[in-house]
A and B are shown apart, each in its own frame.
Chain A
Amino acid sequence: MLTGDRGKYLGIIMGLTFASLIMTQQPAIFLGLMTRTYSFITDVSLPDIWVMDSKVQFVDDIKPLQDTELYRVRGVSGVEWATPMYKGLLRARLANGTFQSCFVVGLDDATLIGGPPIMLEGNIEDLRRSDGVVVDIDGARDKLAKPSRESGGKSVPIKVGDSLEVNDHRAVVVGIAKISRTFQAQPIIYTTYSRAKSYAPRERKLLSFILVKAKPGQDLSVLTRRIRESTGLAAYTRQEFMDLTYDYFMKNTGIPINFGISVLLGFMVGAAIAGQTFYNFTLDNLRQFGVLKAMGTSNRILLQMILLQAILVGSIGYGLGVGSTALFGYFMHDSILAFKFTWQLLIFSGVGIGLICVFAAVISILKVIRLEPAVVFKS
């Protein structure tokens, strides 16, 4: 019956498509953004445990330690190895004289543990060359790119062999790396721990993290507790540190509320459009429902008709909505936009659309159940 009124049929489908799109696309962007908050941790896969100052709240909240803490951690029973890592925000001077803030990550000079997951150009070992640094590809193409020689021309990505200044120290690009985009969006420059310390302003404490590998068979929760007890530092497994960072952004930023409001609005607008149009459709066809009742159709069959139509438009709207979100993600996957489309979002959106359809169907069903079939004889 519903397909007989193309205007209302399309109106309901558009409402549900919109709701489904908003209920998947916005959470996908939210998840993408939240994933970026701890992407630096996920990129460092080798260590089991991250050790840091006990007051650290998230991955970019650096509260440096003294280098001597590294030796204390190495002395804890169950630790296979422990390496230092420096992470700090420093200024890089570009070829045109402008400055750009960059995260400088200093890796253990001997092992280079904690480096970028994928090297696109060069080799991580090249960091051992004089003044060598590795730059992330997005930073190289964008914020660290050299300005065009022609006025208004496209900037030229920084490449292997180019040099820049990091806090008044010469740095030579020896490699380009692919890393996961981070929440802060600053370029990331990898170098050795000792060189990173020479770039950083002179301070008594410069050790950001201690990366720990547990001995084989060692229970990680026992080891983290042992490190905490014997050093007074905070020690987290990789997952715990990711959770700590994630929770910090959830609790201390407006991101969840903003996205939550968008999703709620999408749900409400979708429910209002679909519910109202579906109800109007029922009102317009009340006489037809009355005719069917008069001819002997039971309320159960009429309810099934309404539910079937609600399920039909819900399925189409849901499919179009999640399809649009998938297309959006596909076309944006190489852009700066954060986007993470998980199967849980499909369920979330499906439940949302299901609720809208149930709401739309219920208000119509109530009207049809109360309908007296004698209405068919009223002109």
Chain B
Amino acid sequence: MLAVRCRKIVKIYDSGGQRVTALGGIDLDIATGELMMLVGPSGCGKTTLISVIAGILDQDEGSCEVFGKDLAAMSNREKLKFRASHIGFVFQAFNLLPSLTVAENVSVPLLINGIRRAEAERKANSILEQVGLGDRTTFLPSQLSGGQQQRVAIARALIHDPGLIVCDEPTSALDHETGHTVMQLLKNTVLQSNRALVIVTHDSRIFSFADRTAEMDDGRIVKITDTSAAH
């Protein structure tokens, strides 16, 4: 089953009066249960593409369907609801809310979806156990290491059981060993629950975790490598 279906995606930015083509007609399919990596040099359009796939940026041309829904055809309100229920986010800088505890941070997506606070925190504690942070639920993010913070961010991305998880450089702020642990956690998640995972990265150390790797350059996908057979 296709999680993401992009056809002829074009995105042009206006930069000081100059038109800059960030995406020049992207075609990309991502299946459920697949870990897709977007790689390429800075400015090649990876972040723009992941933003379009995640429904937080509108393309100028083409269509992008996530689980069969055309995001561009949705109203802002529908898009918000769709993101809240179907998409999980993992960021390079973790982006945890500094004044909330670990459990409260993880609860946020459930609260956005209207789940009661007590129920949300119960689920948060449960998922934190799964990522090995069951003893850190009342800690503030600033009291955790980088690897622990990223595990909290992964727990936050998973707690509302989204079908698609988008990750922006999830290991670039981590050392090799911690990065490896985090990737293993993400990979297991995909395998266990048949989710789709899109990761934007420069980090060649984690390329081996991908099922497929899309290399981008100058707003286009220049090569897609299938590495699933190697696993």
A residues apposed to B, CB below 8 Å: 1-5, 287-288, 291-298, 301, 372-374, 376-379
Contacts and interface: CB of A to CB of B under 8 A. Distances in A.
A296 B168 contact: no
Secondary structure dominating the interface of B? mixed
Contacts of B54: 294
Given A292-B108, A296-B83, 20 more contacts: A1-B97, A2-B99, A4-B98, A4-B99, A4-B100, A287-B95, A291-B91, A295-B108, A297-B80, A297-B84, A298-B77, A372-B56, A374-B56, A376-B56, A376-B168, A377-B50, A377-B51, A377-B168, A379-B92, A379-B169
Given A374-B56, A374-B57, A379 B93 contact: yes
Nearest to A297: B112
Contacts of B112: 292, 295-297, 301
A378 B98 CA distance: 19
B209 interface: no
Given A372-B57, A377-B168, A288 B95 contact: yes
Interface string B99-126: 1100000001100110000000000000
B99 A376 contact: no
A172 to B, nearest CB: 73
Secondary structure dominating the interface of A? helix
Contacts of B92: 379
Nearest to B84: A296
A164 B98 CA distance: 74
Nearest to B50: A377
Contacts of A298: 77, 80
Contacts of A296: 80-85, 109, 112-113
22 contacts: A1-B97, A1-B98, A2-B99, A3-B99, A287-B93, A291-B89, A291-B91, A294-B89, A295-B84, A295-B109, A295-B112, A296-B80, A296-B82, A296-B83, A296-B109, A296-B113, A298-B80, A301-B112, A373-B56, A376-B95, A377-B200, A378-B47
Nearest to A379: B92
A295 B200 CA distance: 18
A139 to B, nearest CB: 59
Given A374-B51, A377-B168, A379-B169, A294 B56 contact: yes
Contact of A295 (B51, B77, B89, B169): B89
Interface string B169-202: 1000000000000000000000000000000100
